Structure 1
Amino acid sequence: MKRNIFIFVPIAILFCVIGVYFGVQRHAPASPESLAVANLLTQDMPDASGKTSSLAQWKGKPLLVNFWATWCAPCVEEMPELNALQTEVAAKNIQIVGIGIDSADNIAKFAGKYKISYPLYVAGTGATALLRQFGNQSGGLPFTVLVGSDGQVKKMYLGSIKFNELRKDLASL
């Protein structure tokens, strides 16, 4: 009988510890970045053509969210390469999404002129609040966020993208 107690008590303690661990993991607070992703995906925004769309359509999909503006020279410089990158990563089910901090008219003209193939949304000046939620307190542009299909921020890039680094990060998704 005593021998059985020495076997069952440690096993019971082990299962209690495992239960507590998973209970704490389940109720751990979400990171500010994951809350920012969740908030972003609740937004409805007009696209470059003026049609309002829900960003919830991208939930569960790996995303590269690029905050930009037509008046931001580094933003404009990286757009053609982002456009080419969208073609590369489409087969891997990765979506690039542009969030424009500009007027609808400027974004529409830009999209037409440069033939951008990925979705460009018009957030206007309201996008600065989104930037801050992601931790970009200065509101610097370009600002790009890599989001996994789990809705977690994998990496953030402030300033011009280094595309070799970005391709490595995308490959790790």
Structure 2
Amino acid sequence: MKKTALTIGLAVLALVVGVFVGTLPKHPTEGYPLTGHTFNTFKGGSLDLAALRGKKVVLNFWATWCPPCVEEMPELSALYPALKAQQVELIGIAVDNTANVNTFLEKTPVSYPVALAGFGGSELAEKLGNSQGGLPFTVVLDEDGNVLMKKAGRIQMSEIKAALGQ
């Protein structure tokens, strides 16, 4: 009888603990598509993309050897201050080797942060919907990481603004 009561008591305790643990809030970056992607930046330091959760984000994947990527960069750079003022993050994701990117950005600076993703950036781009693997590739995410817009090829600033509801 004591053994049965003890077994039932432990079962009830396990159930209570299980229910309690199930009601705990999940880690704030769980399920966020940028979680697990931390890259060095052109200006030094690193950028954990999971920290962008809670903000609208524009990610522009590019490479120094990609003419349309290079063509759109001055326009993105000009758009960045207005986006930043609206709490929208714009990040360039360089899918290229670090030496090429550093040399390029020293000659052609941009106003927005650039993450040095190397060819590993292609994996993130694919995860976000770049099934063809082409560059440039731009994706706009809402505060929870839902894709608002994605485009392979040269982007127009009006397309980014429209995706952000501007």
TM over 0.5: yes
Aligned with 1:72 (options 57, 66, 71): 66
- 1:79 shift after superposition: 0.3
- 1:57 shift after superposition: 2.4
After the TM superposition, which residues 2-151 of structure 1 pair with which residues of structure 2 at under 5 Å, given as runs? 38-151=32-145
| Cα distance between partner residues in 2 of 1:114 and 1:103 | 16
| Cα distance between partner residues in 2 of 1:149 and 1:91 | 16
Of stretches 39-48 and 98-107 in structure 1, the one that deviates more from structure 2 is: 39-48
- 1:119 shift after superposition: 0.9
Equivalent residues of 1:49, 1:108 under 8 A apart = no
- 1:41 shift after superposition: 3.2
One-letter identity of the residue aligned with 2:94: G
| Cα distance between partner residues in 2 of 1:87 and 1:103 | 27
- 1:50 shift after superposition: 4.1
Partner SS state of residue 115, structure 1: coil
Task: Kindly provide the CA deviation profile for residues 43-88 of structure 1, in whole angstroms up to 9, marking residues without a partner as x.
Answer: 1111113423322221211100001001000000000000011012
Partner SS state of residue 171, structure 1: coil
| Cα distance, 1:80–1:161 mapped onto 2, change above 3 Å | same
- 1:134 shift after superposition: 1.9
Equivalent residues of 2:33, 2:145 under 8 A apart = no
Equivalent residues of 1:66, 1:144 under 8 A apart = yes
**Structure with a larger share of its residues in helix:** 1
- 1:105 shift after superposition: 1.4
Partner SS state of residue 138, structure 1: coil
Q: CA RMSD in A?
A: 1.8
Percent identity of paired positions between Structure 1 and Structure 2: 40
Q: Which residue of 2 aligns with 1:3?
A: none
Partner SS state of residue 106, structure 1: helix
| Cα distance between partner residues in 2 of 1:113 and 1:41 | 32
Equivalent residues of 2:34, 2:145 under 8 A apart = no
Task: Kindly provide the CA deviation profile for residues 141-160 of structure 1, in whole angstroms up to 9, marking residues without a partner as x.
Answer: 10000001122111101100
Q: How many residues align?
A: 137
| Cα distance between partner residues in 1 of 2:134 and 2:110 | 22
Structure 1: 5+ residue stretches without partners: 1-34
